[in-house]
Structure 1
């Protein structure tokens, strides 16, 4: 029996080491791409994008070679206040009519500790692409009790300067902070 288990483990290990790329797709029912902006230097306003597509491709089970991409629909930005949401979609900020999406594509995924990574990549917003560095925590993978598929969670955060992307350029930092905190919480399901 021990020989059968050992043979199965070795067979699985050789299958993984042969470069079998795994693709993980976002579960939109358990995903949120959001941001926090400080208003008038005294309060924080949270928002998020309702429609997101994202995937991660990796050959290694510890995600150290992962390639991550996500795209968010800017026209569905939500802060809970319709008037503010419409202003964010206007040319004053995101200009959703001209730039309907924002996107991120990773260039490196470096392990910095247990389940922790530094993710570098290119963020595109408002027609401008800039390199950014994000911090990620990986949770799992586990087998989802509902879908019976391998599922992994990512909690990602970082800070960007909105002016680097030409967003809200006519508004001073006393009205809207230049530094905006990005937060991504998402579950990804391994594809067959």
Structure 2
């Protein structure tokens, strides 16, 4: 049982905070925290995850309330408590919950995170075996369709000023797969992607815009089905490291964007007429990218 809101209890005229007291279910204990930002102010919206220490199973997950509080009531046992917020160093600790005991509310102040080193200037090539381009779309009438593109290539030209860097991605439209052969064939047909006339989906960036912490927005143009539209990729930079196939330098990032099917004149009417329910009006595009720094001895990724 997780409570998203833990309110501060104060006696009239008192200046010190008081811990909350509440009845607990049999066999359960409670853990609470008050999260502060680097300036010592209450921090709402921090992500809190409580996991069983032995099985690593997530038992409670939520965000702090506007006053920076979070409370979870769980079966007695040992747990790992993780607190995270954008641009701040995560806080992790182990707590032991006892039957019928509510632990004193702990005050946790998060510190600024050390910025990740940006990729060094130069050419970076996608590593396809460690890169994925996926999409999620609403299935007409029920659930969601999850799919991916299996063939693509791309790279990043990192400039000395990161905002002037350039990203290019080319996707083989015919490599679309959703795990259903009939649906995939129709997605490739003239009714939808029309891969015979438009074999590629291309993205070319125009600007890298810094947000905060590890967050960037990559702005650019996505060309699909003969139409180009402006798209913004909400991107999280994951850092760089040596290793993979050898000691090559590689970097990683995650990116997301929402596409509107009608922006690209993709029409499903004829497919619906044949009883084939495909996708809804919006598609969530997700990219998990690893790129290798290009040198004379950059390894060739395996097929």
**What is the deviation of 1:111?**
1.0
Measure the CA separation in 2 of the matches of 1:41 and 1:183. Answer: 23
Measure the CA separation in 2 of the matches of 1:128 and 1:59. Answer: 29
Residue 55, structure 1, aligned to residue 155, structure 2: yes
**What is the deviation of 1:133?**
1.1
Alignment map for 1:70-81 (pairs within 5 Å)? 70-81=169-180
CA contact (8 A) 1:38 1:44 kept: yes
Residue 143, structure 1, aligned to residue 242, structure 2: yes
Alignment map for 1:88-99 (pairs within 5 Å)? 88-99=187-198
Alignment map for 1:96-107 (pairs within 5 Å)? 96-107=195-206
Who is 2:224 aligned against?
A: 125
Residue 31, structure 1, aligned to residue 131, structure 2: yes
Structure 2 counterpart of 1:40, from 108, 115, 140: 140
Who is 1:185 aligned against?
A: 288
CA contact (8 A) 1:110 1:119 kept: yes
TM-score, with length taken from structure 1 = 0.83
**What is the deviation of 1:147?**
2.3
TM-score, with length taken from structure 2 = 0.54
CA contact (8 A) 2:237 2:253 kept: yes
RMSD, aligned CA: 1.9
Which structure's CA Rg is the greater one? 2
CA contact (8 A) 1:41 1:175 kept: no
Measured against aligned partners, the alpha-carbon deviations of 1:22-44 in whole angstroms (never above 9, x if no partner) come to: 10000011111111110125311
**What is the deviation of 1:123?**
0.2
Who is 1:113 aligned against?
A: 212
Who is 1:155 aligned against?
A: 254
Measured against aligned partners, the alpha-carbon deviations of 1:55-99 in whole angstroms (never above 9, x if no partner) come to: 0001238x4332000000011111111111101000111001110
Structure with more contact order per residue of length (Cα contacts < 8 Å, sep ≥ 6): 1
Measure the CA separation in 1 of the matches of 2:224 and 2:268. Answer: 13
Question: How many pairs align?
Answer: 171
Measure the CA separation in 2 of the matches of 1:108 and 1:191. Answer: 22
Runs of 4+ in 1 over 6 A off after TM superposition: none
Measure the CA separation in 2 of the matches of 1:129 and 1:120. Answer: 13
Runs (5+) with no aligned partner, structure 2: 1-119, 296-303
Q: Which has the higher helix share?
A: 1
Instruction: Classify the secondary structure of the residue corresponding to 1:86.
Output: helix
- Structure 1 pair 175–90 and aligned structure 2 pair: CA distance change class (3 A): closer
